Structure 1
């Protein structure tokens, strides 16, 4: 929606709502942005009277529509003088505008749009409502996905085809029955859905024509061309566009087919379908340049307030409150305030406030005064609401005082116009003790002082009153202690607002100026060290987790040619015949020299920045960077200025790749003797190994290895595919080649040289620049706008980061393997941090089971029937390995007791009878088995999960069954009393994840498709309280330390549930989209929830449900545990990482990582208008 000013005749209020702006107008009425009594933004459609008279029943039904991909109907009054409907406000462009300005949708975006609209129609139809006017204009692309609006209002059946102006844009989405006076029902919406999908994919309705009659004829008889739609959309759109309403699928069947790829009976599964559809749709965002920038009025005001200098912030309450015409509660109005009335502080501060709020559209200059742009600001800005409520009782007194003082001044300051008696006493009393935020103007102060003086001159019988008034006046002028307390509160509010602003600014700078983001995060905590504020806490955690470690741009080096050394440590820029060389890590300039000529078009820099190669029309010239002198004569062909050719040193700097005219691949030259590396058969060299001992040659489908020193062929197996885009690992043992089809990197083949083994990594990225790290375990791929790091063993994604701008060089791994660097046009080098961790297993090994103690201090890994425990602090082994199973393929379950002293192991163990499933309890200190026993039910294949009760006396054992559990059956559960050795069975109670409540009375278990709750005292499954969550993937369960919040799987993510009573929060946490949540753990005393999703750990604020940070970790399939302010993450590949989850400790770590605070000049740049702080020492300088 796009905000426009109210026009004369527009109402200011409707019902309990105040209107702020116009956002649209159509045949049914005008749509406004408005705010309710609580300050929440809504959309109000004021209906034309002829529309309102026929939609009463429809509006009532529409109120029952669930808000899945729809704009929820909030309120309505169609019988009012100005009938209106209130709905949820959706901030985003319409589908029509998005297509017209951003182009048609395709691929995943088109599929998600189809899912979103089918979800909305399913929800609408479930409520018994027919939309009747479903079209691109009624689909808004909001920040949380598409939303359908205006359902249950339109009556397209009653539209007249003789009135084209009334139906323009709509007939192309009408079903045939709507044009033949047949009954218009839900199938008409399905028909419109098919037409809208075609419009989204092509930019045109399938029934577009040059005239209204032609459009209607096409709707009635033409079969649309759907060849542009991919499957399954093509088949679904064809079914939806069937002329016969009875032949069309329902919206629910469309949704099920889109989500599952097949058709099935959806009865009884509508709620699950709607939730799944809404989750899939949430990922669809409008194109970047189409995102509406229409924040709420309160956000706009708060942003302006945060940019003000402290002196300006002090006067904002005076400026704003003087423009309020106090009414009865919500009936407050606005008034124009003259300039002289604002004489409450220095003119510069007042003028600055008015200028900045006016530029933001919140104030309007009018004659010699100023007023709010609308009354909605009085509700929409929480800070102003707070000021207004604090001053409400005294505002009428102040308003009368202002008017009386002006009257006195304008009529020559006559004594008869002064306050006396009760009015003087009330005004002086309020000015002395009743004010909270307002200050008296000079005129108001002089008026009260003159009134008090007049009283002193009157009869002595009024001495008591005089003394009282004089005392109150002294208090007024001196600004008493109560007001000072209020000012301190105001200062705390200001500090919190500044801290929030700095934290948000840190997020915007994290990928462009990571060092500044670190310091801004530390500054936010220093100014307002409040762990309950998610923006501040999230900025700290995000700083410690940020992938972009550094962005280096050489000063004044945007123009010219740039080269990054092959190890990523050195940057060279060439412009105007001068070379400048910088150390990328320290940012210091190493050297500069001239005399290289003005015609340089390509540059390459060898490892460590030792040798610089420059390419111009005369060929290639090498330069010694240390001395600034040329090395040897020119060689090679002239540069081709028309193409961005490959010009690159190999990893050792011994060879240089140069493009030659007429060749599709570069030619490799040996630098030492300026010799081409060409085989006897004339094949082109594709890649040279470090040291030049081996080269790969290929041409016309002929490929072989050869020795560049001797020219002889080298026997050995060859990669099956060879392209220009290839790389050797630093040790020369691994070779990678990209399969490039028209710029699309479809796959990468990894060739293990010693083993002669080839493996294929299927990829789909738009880019062909690749590099291997030193040992060949990681592959970096630089695409047009992002860089990804992939594990070569299995193709798992280790890291992916979006970078604005075309990446024009090969990625570079640092020697220590901690960073990958890439050069952007203009000479900007991005250093990206590769997730690191302690590796507790050898490369290529993986654990079968992983467990962390509750406090995260102890880790157990089971591999091939043997358990090894580790201390997470340092990764040292805890005792010798413990053999628990004979078979290396045995499936084993692990769990630590709450105090970490006992490790429970379950499976086909050597400590039990051969072939029996049993439990063994291991003393973690001594590494010995203290107790073992067989489980009750020996018919199960393996044990899937174990869990201890909080007191450590009960062990829950879930057993995975043999056979198919697709019909609602659940695993068998056993509850073992470890003191008595007795076990109790619970049918259908088990799960792949289990957690006891802190009081031990409940056990939550998760197993597809529903979680379950077990009463541990009676050993029975309890009915789920309220709406039962529906799982589409395995998910974890957990309780917070206090037991008031539980993590419950929902879809492929998790929801937080309050446990007293059991009710879900308003919004889910950790919904991951296509990847499922694997593990969850509470940290920071239960204030933070960590969830593991693939190779990411997401941190969420439990109280508000806000995401805090995303941590990239090196392993997958992770377990989580938190203790003493540290989150531990252990993966099945034996990788262990630890992360701070305590805000105070995080602030200290951020300061250490940042290497200090801002200089004064930097502070003014990043935090203008706030007192300078030496943020990483705790000192505050007010000057």
Structure 2
């Protein structure tokens, strides 16, 4: 069989640029989306010629996977049909699979194993909260990316089951749960079993149920005891609980996260062997004209094969082996977590209190599996906070001699970093493991904004300054690269950076009421300035609106505006509602809805649907003074916003559905 799409340059709006891998479900290509961002495009083997109902069932199931919050998961971005075959587009993460890394480098140990366990368990919790069961979690579906472990391929097996009248997407021997082997209902507990088997492989380099054939492995899985020799003691009891033969006897994915992060102790309750597995994804009744598959006959045949020790080739023929040699990747666009997410505007935790002056900047990320926020303040420090506990982590990042205006969280060569911009005319790059900093010097005025991006293989920071320029810095060397970006008439207050059409770009905004886009390779302005605001522009964020790259800006004129970066024109009407200057904007995606959060002089933060231009829910009114900064991120799989204020606090609040 030839590789689907091998002769094609494009699938829909995605240009194929390389071959990533091939497995039982399909072929995976590296591609570029219309904005130039790398994606993974998976073309499935199953065909649906002339069967719109099969396609509808398939895409309905894949749509569930799009709800998964992207904490330690590679998000599903798009789907469609190409030459009567379905394709799925996901984020692309560079890195080896856990399976390959263990074969090459040996088992994971110490903190590396602990971080792997937390990240993958949290990914499972996000998947389950979205109403999805992975059904094929294994070392090959965990990618060790530059920002940590990422789980891929969730929900595709279930989608294939719904697309065709056969039961073939079972899982992978040695990692599937007993109920999968017995062809019984499969729920989240099956993923918990697979997680434990994956952790055993990570810790020991061998499968938890050994065997010299597929049939032997499956018999051991059904009737044998797990081999957990070599698994660290602190992880072993949890793994054993997860490997219970009966699904109702296993912890939930939320239990895993709670236990691994030390918030609760593991407790287990014996469960009768006859208790059925919980089903998170109920099977819809088939339409009247569609005959259901002969499930009972299939089950009897499958069980007979297992009991008789069927040959490897026969068993392998009915197992769908999912193989992505590399994964879809990074790109923070938060999505909603189903019913566990509190309503929009709900306070999460306590205010982050510790700064002794205005909180001017905020950024959300993770550090060693812990959700964190970095804040910058007029007290000349930046501070890191644990979003789960609302507690400050470590000592303040101290060294600036004026207000800290902008902050970024990122990774540099696999190490977590912070980048801060200050009115002392400098930016600083902080190693968050050591607390050491490198100073970026060159501006002749306050540095008001900072963003990070990659230009080819170079990781850079882009800074915006009151000296009327933006400048580009090599994060490894700390040296300025190329000429400054000049053109603004007055202070440049804000900068955002990303990829558009395969080019690394920056978008700047300033006191001259304009918004400008720059090609970071040529250092040239792209097109004419974007005009429309009637006052200064102090904030900018980048977003993707139904495939169109856009910039979002906030202004003294009390509006938020959206700009089409392909045309340089305003995109729709301004977002109006603030009764004071708009100081801050952040953009993201919640439950498939592109949203903007804005903060203003009127002491409120507001959430907007970018498609409809409507405000979602009531304004957030917890601060007692103006909102200087906003950021969007995730807290244990839940989409949140973080705001910083003149009242010297930062606050986290839910981006869940409106009340």
TM-score between both structures, scaled by the size of structure 2: 0.45
TM-score between both structures, scaled by the size of structure 1: 0.26
The structure with the largest strand share of the pair is 2
- Higher RCO structure, 1 or 2 (CA under 8 Å, sep 6+): 2
The structure with the largest helix share of the pair is 1
